């Protein structure tokens, strides 16, 4: 027998290297599977901006005014002692609508809406959304963009 030829029970350097590499590859595969499984079990979270915001004191809005609140993309509408809040987001593709002579106009594709936010000409498929307006404990207008209301629902003070 050749002294350099390993017997059945001896481990060669090459065999040891192959065995080690196999264990390392197997460990990486098991770790990657474990990470993927844990990642699958943890739900994705979407952080959205708050839907409710304070729009200031009722006295900040003159009678008959329609005030655009740019940060929130809404119009605050005051008539006498009533307050309403209209979304400025076009129901077509989400552009911000502008005030017009008779109501609102979308600069993107030309939809027009009347003063109540109803569609007068498309392509917008439906009316602008009215949001719930209430009064907070510290006497501020509180708008909830998560709650839509009918166009004839007002906050009356």
92 binds ligand FES (CB under 6 A): yes
106 binds ligand FES (CB under 6 A): yes
Q: Which one among 95, 115, 132, 149 touches ligand FES, defined by CB under 6 A?
A: 95
Could you give the CA distance from residue 143 to residue 84 in angstroms, rounded to a whole number?
A: 9
86 binds ligand FES (CB under 6 A): no
Phi-psi sector, 110: left (phi>0), alpha (psi -120 to 50), beta:
left
Could you give the CA distance from residue 7 to residue 19 in angstroms, rounded to a whole number?
A: 17
Residue whose CB is less far from ligand FES, 112 or 145:
112
Residue whose CB is less far from ligand FES, 56 or 110:
110
- Lay out the site mask for ligand FES across 41-80 (x = CB under 6 A, - = otherwise): ----------------------------------------
- Give the binding range for ligand FES (CB under 6 A) out of 40-48, 65-73, 90-98, 113-121: 90-98
121 binds ligand FES (CB under 6 A): no
Beta-bridge partner residues of 133: 143
Beta-bridge partner residues of 103: 114
Could you give the CA distance from residue 45 to residue 129 in angstroms, rounded to a whole number?
A: 26
109 binds ligand FES (CB under 6 A): yes
Helix residue ranges, H only, the chain: 13-41
Could you give the CA distance from residue 70 to residue 73 in angstroms, rounded to a whole number?
A: 5
In whole angstroms, the minimum distance from the beta carbon of 125 to ligand FES comes to: 10
């Amino acid at each position: 027998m050749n002294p350099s030829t390993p017997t059945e029970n001896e481990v060669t350097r090459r065999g040891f290297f192959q065995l080690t590499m196999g264990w390392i590859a197997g460990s990486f595969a098991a770790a990657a599977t474990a990470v993927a499984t844990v990642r699958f079990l943890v739900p994705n979270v979407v952080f959205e901006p708050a839907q409710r915001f304070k729009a200031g004191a009722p006295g900040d809005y003159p009678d008959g005014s329609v005030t655009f609140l740019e940060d929130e993309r809404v119009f605050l509408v005051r008539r006498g002692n009533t307050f309403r809040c209209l979304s400025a987001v076009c129901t077509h593709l989400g552009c911000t609508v502008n005030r017009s002579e008779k109501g609102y106009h979308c600069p993107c594709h030309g939809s027009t809406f009347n003063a109540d936010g109803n569609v007068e000409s498309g392509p917008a498929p439906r009316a602008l959304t009215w949001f719930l307006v209430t009064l907070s404990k510290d006497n501020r207008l509180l708008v909830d963009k998560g709650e839509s209301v009918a166009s004839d629902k007002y906050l009356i003070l």
